[in-house]
Structures are given as structure tokens and as C-alpha cells.
Amino acid sequence: MTEYSKPLPEITAESRPFWDACARHELLVQTCRACGTVQYYPRGVCAACWSPDVEWTPSSGRGRVYTFTVTHRTQARGFRDELPYVLAWITLDEGVQVMSNIVGVDPGKVAIGMPVRVTFDDVKEGLSIPKFTAA
Amino acid sequence: MTPQALIAGVHEFPERKTTRSMLEIQALSARAALEDAGLSKKDVDGYFTVAGNPGIGPLPIVDYLNLDPKYIDGTTIGGSSFVAHVNHAAAAIAQGRCRVALITYGSTSRSSGVAVGTRERIAGDYLDQFEALYGTSTVGLYAMVARRHMHEYGTTSEQLAEIAVATRRHASLNPLALYREPITVKDVLASPMISAPLHLLDCCVITDGGGALVVVHPDLARDLRKPPVRLLGSAEAIAHTSAGRRDFLVSAAAESGPRALAEAGVAPRDVSMAMLYDSFTITVLVTLEDLGFCKKGQGGGFVSGGRIALGGELPINTDGGGLSSNHPGMRGIFLVVEAVRQLRGECGERQVKDCRLALVHGTGGALGNRHSGATLILGRS
């Protein structure tokens, strides 16, 4: 396996449960126990009501492409060696948007509204990065 | 109506590539803007700039300029920062915290070889782990908004290109502009694709540059060298990912624009010319819609047919904008400089006829994740 040269997440105590789940190939969102709001990206409080009582809840890992761009020129580490690549916002079935890459699909075939599912890029022991591919 | 404050002096550093430092650029610009106002260094009692140095913000530049401000503001919200500084300066002046506010900017992006639009966009904060690891770049984040706009409203690359073409025509009338050779819609579409659907000519240029603004208390009107420009309305807003439920086609301009217009008591149809942050063509299109110049989704038609060019219904970015004149990374200050010069009637060949009311809107950050918007309504004396 060639070394993963793209940026890696700087995991903190706040985001550790999310990344631990990714290592098990599970995508998590959060649900507020106080007001019921589902949110992504994860954080220590509910973005709607600021209650710290947020619960990690499983995502179906399925959704649709909200928008995307096929990048042909970039200085971004790792990505500049793999042009073109697809950066996208995906709306999960849980109703929240997730930024990610669409992989395993010809960039010319990616379209808004396309059904996608999560796939995990196992970059090293204990670290997997959620990406999306055609469902 | 009574203006909140006056813009008494402006200066745009003329070089697009320089051997001077960002501190020097700001000092020379401050001197020139104060001279333009008919004021001097000793009159300055408020100072505003972006945080150049993480953690201590404006301290080094205040030291370099040898200023003793009573009021300091280092608000840094991207390219719109200097537009927001005018809003903040007016508030400080209205509160009696200062009377002569100096705003400065200096950058050597081009001579330092900074790939402003395509560099890796890593902020060094918590959010990076959910975004930056996917190869975000500034142009990519804007391109995603352009793609969605095309999907929802049928906007075309040709329509986006119209913005670049009109802006270049204006640049051809500005001797300081980086690129002055006219271009066509075909040229824009034939330029290399950077992050689809945005081509190279949909993107702003990279230059060195800087400038300064002098905002003063209305009482000082009689002490100034030139008829001052009146600040009639100002507002700011932030648009962000909204916990995962964002309509990325609605920018911060939809919040700040109506507030600034209402404060000035005017409508979009009253505006003689507009200076709109043009990091990319899509930035202009979305901003025009959100400010109410046309309905959401109709920006593509609005920018076509010469409407936004000199001689059209709403000339925009008459200096050649970031797309053709200059973009050192944070261009907001130049929006104010050009609007003031248009209202004073100083723009020569590119002068908007009977320019009475100008709208300035800065966008800082990226439309595709989070950004700031700051709007000013400016009137001539």
C-alpha cells in the first residue's frame, strides 16, 4: 500500500468517537437529546440549542450529491498528484450535509442528485477516512 | 439624511508586483490617503486593519506606523474585512471613541508566490478534519456553488463569462490594471478549467497591493481637502454551514444587503454603480441576486447584454475588479476606493455618468462553506 499523502485529520477528544467509529467503518452523526436536532459536523454542543447533551447516532451512510466540483488544478497535498478529483457536499438521508470526495466513479459521470453511499479509505492502522461512491 | 460618517480620503497602492514590504505598502498608502483627505498622521486617533500576525493582530503594524490610536480594531473576516472596518469605524465615531479612523491593507501575495486560489485550504482549526482533508481549495469551494446554481436555475458558463468580459472591458480603461487586453466569452470558456465549472478566467488574478481609507466624523467636513463621500448605510453578516443544513446559493449579502439599504432608505434601483467582491464570477452573480438587483436564480440573465458594463443599467467593478485589476488576497479595500472615486467624479475614461449613489459589497472566506458579507451604501456630497 502506497503511503497516503493527502492531509490527515488532527483528532481531538471532542472528535475521537467519530474517528473511532470510522475505523470500524461506521459513519456517525449527532442527535441532541434536548431538542432532537441532528447535526454534522460533530461538536461538543448542539448547534441549534447549545445543549451539551448530544448523542452519537449512526448514519445510514446513504445520501445524494448536493453539489460537487471536479478539480483539475490544485496545490492541495496528495490531491495534486491525483487530478482530477471530485470534492462534494452530500446530503445524508438523515438530512445533514457532509463534505467529502466522490471516489470510484468517473468524475465525468458524477451528477447532482446522484445516490451515493459511504465508503472508508483505510489510510493506516486505526484511521479510516469516510468518502462516498455511487450507491 | 445625516450620514453616520464621511469617507474623507482613499488610496490604492499602484504597483501589482513590488519589492516593498507589506508594512511599507501600508505606510505609503496611509500617507497618501491622509493627504487625499487633507489630514495628517497626527490627526489619526482610530486604527483598523486585518490581523497580520496570529495572536497579536495589528500590533506590529501599529508599531511600524508609530501610531497612538485610542481605538483599535483587527477584525479579520476575509476579503470583506476592510468593508466591515468602515462599518466599525462609523460606529466608533458615532460613539465618540475616535474622530479620524485610518484603515490600511498591504500584501505581497504575488512576489511571495502565494497560490491564493488553488493552495491547500487548511485553517489549522477543528473544522479542518471534516473539510480540508478532502482537498478543499478556495476555487473549489466557489465552484461547488456555481455547479449548484447551474443545476437549480439553468445558469450557464457563458453567463458567468459575461461577468469576466465586462470586468476586463473596465480594466482596459484603468492604466493600473494587471490585465487590460479585452477578452470574449469564448476566451473565458477556452481558458483552462481549474475547478469545474470555473475556468481560469472565471478566477481573480494574484497581485501584490494595498491601500488605505480615512473615515471621519461628519463635523470634520469643512476641514477636508475634497468633498467627502457620505456613509449612508452599513451592515455585515456571516453565512456558514448551519449545522449541516445550508442553502449554499444564499450568501451573507442576503442578510447584510437589505439591512444596509434600509438604513440608507434606498432601494437597489436607486444605485448608480456597485462594487461587488469578484473573487470569482459566481461570487458576483450570487451577490447581485442576494442584494436584490434581480430575483434569486435570475442572475445569469441579469449579467448578460451589457447591463453590468459601463453605459449599462448597473455598472459594476469599474476599476477592473479582482478578475482583471488586482487581488492581493483581500480586495475589500479597493471596492471602497473605487466607489469613492466614482462618487467624486475622478474616474476619467471609466467614470459612471451622474454617479450619485454607490453600493459596496465585500465577500470574505468562501461561498461554499463559510464567509462574511459587508455592505456599504455611499452617497456623494
Per-residue pLDDT of B218-271, as tens digits, reads 999 999 999 999 999 999 999 999 999 999 999 999 999 999 999 999 999 999
Q: How confident is the model at residue B3 (pLDDT cuts 50, 70, 90)?
A: confident
Closest alpha carbon within chain B to A5: B133
Closest alpha carbon within chain A to B132: A7
- Asked, as a colleague might, if the bond just before B58 is cis with ω within 30 of 0, I would say no
Domains parsed from chain B with CATH numbers: 5-111+208-229 (3.40.47.10), 128-205+233-379 (3.40.47.10)
Inter-chain CB proximity B133 and A129 less than 8 Å? yes
Q: What is the pLDDT of residue B80?
A: 98
pTM of this prediction?
Answer: 0.97
Query: Residue B298: is its pLDDT beyond 90?
Result: yes
- Which of B127, B195, B243 is the closest to A71 by Cβ? B195
The strand pair at B100-107 and B46-48 is best described as: parallel
Residues forming a β-bridge with B362: B374
* Count of positions (residues) in chain A: 135
Q: What is the pLDDT of residue A121?
A: 97
Q: What is the pLDDT of residue B117?
A: 79
Inter-chain CB proximity B129 and A9 less than 8 Å? yes
Q: What is the pLDDT of residue B326?
A: 97
Query: Residue B1: is its pLDDT beyond 60?
Result: no
Q: Find chain A residues with C-beta within 8 A of B148's C-beta.
A: 66-67, 112
- Which of A15, A40, A99 is the closest to B134 by Cβ? A99
Q: What is the pLDDT of residue A58?
A: 98
Q: How confident is the model at residue B154 (pLDDT cuts 50, 70, 90)?
A: very high
Query: Residue B178: is its pLDDT beyond 80?
Result: yes
- Which of A19, A43, A87 is the closest to B134 by Cβ? A87
Query: Residue A88: is its pLDDT beyond 90?
Result: yes
Q: Find chain B residues with C-beta within 8 A of A98's C-beta.
A: 130, 244
Query: Residue B120: is its pLDDT beyond 80?
Result: no
Q: For cell 504597483, what's the residue?
A: B15
Q: Chains A, B: CB contacts under 8 A, how many?
A: 133
d(CA B314, CA B376): 16
- Asked, as a colleague might, if the bond just before A41 is cis with ω within 30 of 0, I would say yes
C-alpha distance from residue A133 to each of A23, A26, A128 (Å)? 18, 15, 15
- Which of B127, B144, B194 is the closest to A41 by Cβ? B127
Query: Residue A1: is its pLDDT beyond 80?
Result: no
d(CA B71, CA B46): 5
The strand pair at B357-365 and B209-216 is best described as: unpaired
Inter-chain CB proximity A97 and B241 less than 8 Å? yes
Question: What is the DSSP secondary structure assignment for residue B145, as one 8-state letter?
Answer: H
Q: What is the pLDDT of residue A2?
A: 66
Q: What is the pLDDT of residue B123?
A: 75
C-alpha distance from residue B303 to each of B52, B73, B282 (Å)? 36, 36, 11
Residues B199-216 have a mean pLDDT of 97
**pLDDT above 70 coverage of chain B, percent:** 99
Query: Residue B113: is its pLDDT beyond 90?
Result: no
Assigned C-alpha cell, A98: 457532509
Question: Which residue type does B367 have?
Answer: L
Quick: pLDDT tens for A16-40: 999 999 999 999 999 999 999 999 9
Quick: pLDDT tens for B8-26: 999 999 999 999 999 999 9
Question: What is the DSSP secondary structure assignment for residue B77, as one 8-state letter?
Answer: B
**What distance in Å separates residue A61's CA from the closest CA in chain B?**
15
Assigned C-alpha cell, B144: 461547488
Inter-chain CB proximity B244 and A38 less than 8 Å? yes
Closest alpha carbon within chain A to B368: A89
Closest alpha carbon within chain B to A32: B243
**What distance in Å separates residue B240's CA from the closest CA in chain A?**
12
Q: What angle in degrees, to the nearest 10, is found between the helix axes of B81-94 and B332-344?
A: 70
Quick: pLDDT tens for B318-334: 999 999 999 999 999 99
**What distance in Å separates residue A112's CA from the closest CA in chain B?**
7
Nearest Cα residue to B363 out of B317, B314, B330, B337 = B330
Return left, alpha or beta for B139; rule: phi > 0 is left, psi -120 to 50 is alpha, else beta. Answer: alpha
Q: How confident is the model at residue A3 (pLDDT cuts 50, 70, 90)?
A: confident
Query: Residue B200: is its pLDDT beyond 80?
Result: yes
Inter-chain CB proximity B248 and A89 less than 8 Å? yes
Quick: pLDDT tens for B39-97: 999 999 999 999 877 778 899 999 999 999 999 999 999 999 999 999 999 999 999 99
Average pLDDT, chain A: 96
Quick: pLDDT tens for A43-75: 999 999 999 999 999 999 999 999 999 999 988
Q: Find chain B residues with C-beta within 8 A of A78's C-beta.
A: 135
Residues B285-304 have a mean pLDDT of 98
